[in-house]
Amino acid sequence: MKVSVLLAISAPMLVSAQQSLWGQCGGIGYTGPTNCVAGAVCTTQNAYYAQCVSGSGQATTAATTPRTTAPVTTTRTTTGSQPAGTGLDALIKSKGKKYVGFSADGSGQFNDATHANIFRTEAGCLTPENSMKWDAIEPNQGSFNWGTADTLVNFAQSNGKLVRGHTLLWHSQLPQWVKNINNKATLTTVIQNHAAAVAGRYKGKIYAWDVANEVVADGGGMRSSVFSQVFGDWTFLDVAFKAAKAADPNAKLCLNDYNINFTGAKLNTFIQVVKDLKSRGVPIDCVGTQTHTGVGDSSIANYKNTLTMLAGTGCEVQITELDIAFPSTSSSSALLNQQSNDYRTIVAACMGTSACTGITVWGVSDKNSWITGRHPLLWDENFQKKPAYTGFVNGINS
């Protein structure tokens, strides 16, 4: 810190900070460096996102003004190690959205050629399913396991993918040493240190952080957790968001939750919490709606309304954990087709909502889904595309 201050004072002619390869260099709402390091070119992917890609060709100008008409489609640079986009991510980018993502984790997935190839060709963003959760990354106070999370971030960096950080504060998968804290000053410091360490380690490499996850109770109101109990109000969120901002100022900071549906009290509380954070000056940029749902669920037809209400917060909206499970392990062509239609409806709702910038599906193959045996994803157990994949494509094209 002191060194860079001295440099800035003694050498005022130095150029401003340069973004690293694969880092963001422009787009609506972006305030970081717009020049790329040598060997990389700032390339506009869409109005929301320009990225330093490998190569030395003609730089395109990063978008700085909101688009009011159809987006200009820019071809991704294919020099260097940047893979040519042919899959879902390239398609959604061509329609002006920022990414299609998948959850991932573990070197097994990245070392498996089939799995890794799907990440390379279909994904623009990866979310670690478990490895950045508190119990996984800081199981004992001040003692960190970085390996699995590093593997994902390194894969993303070397393949030009964004990363969604998940998650800094959550009542579940939380180690006992945090649950045992009963003092507000201590818990404040612990949240700050955790965010500083984890968001700090991946600074500049995370597109968006789920700073806090599932803080709203299922019936509305505040979920019971060590955080809500010790603070007695929502201001534990202020602590977490401010600490994340300090650790990684250019990452988008999100509040993420599940079952935040059009008709529910839970959505109303969620929206009020976001508005209150904003009115207190807490840095929040995005809302995540997990969207773990079921084939034929009656809420799906209302999904566009949900996204519209979330967009009303003024935040970027991201679908963060999409999967659409069968009612049981048994399958049929009727269920496969209904699932395809449901994916189409949900993806189309995002396409029709300008604030909705990206969609993450919670895994690639049904083989690896957390919803064991209920076929919720786009690829089957043998990594063959299902009708759901076509439904996703149709949703993007709708």
Ligand X SMILES: *[C@@H]1O[C@H](CO)[C@@H](O)[C@H](O)[C@H]1NC(C)=O
Q: Which residues bind ligand X (CB under 6 A)?
A: 259, 261, 264, 291, 293-294, 297, 299-300, 303
237 close to 168: Cβ distance less than 8 angstroms = no
Q: In whole angstroms, give the CA distance from residue 162 to residue 165.
A: 10
Q: In whole angstroms, give the CA distance from residue 46 to residue 59.
A: 14
Give the CB-nearest residue to ligand X.
Answer: 293
291: closest CA among 355, 225, 345? 345
CA-CA-CA-CA torsion for 221, 225, 231, 236, nearest 10 degrees? -80
Q: What is the DSSP string of 84-133?
A: PP-SHHHHHHHTT--EEEEEE-SHHHHHSHHHHHHHHHH-SEEEESSTTS
Give the SS3 label for residue 57: coil
In whole angstroms, the minimum distance from the beta carbon of 324 to ligand X comes to: 8
29 vs 221 by CB, closer to ligand X: 221
57 vs 352 by CB, closer to ligand X: 352
Asked about 138 being catalytic, the answer comes back as no
112 vs 297 by CB, closer to ligand X: 297
In whole angstroms, the minimum distance from the beta carbon of 299 to ligand X comes to: 4
Q: What is the DSSP string of 214-252?
A: --B-TTSSBPPSHHHHHHSSTHHHHHHHHHHHHH-TTSE
Residue of 138, 214, 316, 381 with catalytic role = 214
Any idea which residue has 């130095």 for tokens?
Answer: 14
216 vs 315 by CB, closer to ligand X: 216
In whole angstroms, the minimum distance from the beta carbon of 298 to ligand X comes to: 8
259 vs 394 by CB, closer to ligand X: 259
In whole angstroms, the minimum distance from the beta carbon of 372 to ligand X comes to: 18
In whole angstroms, the minimum distance from the beta carbon of 326 to ligand X comes to: 13
Asked about 214 being catalytic, the answer comes back as yes
Q: In whole angstroms, give the CA distance from residue 305 to residue 136.
A: 36
Maximum distance among all alpha carbons in the chain? Answer: 71
By residue count, the chain amounts to 398
Residue of 122, 129, 316, 321 with catalytic role = 321
Catalytic residue list: 214, 321
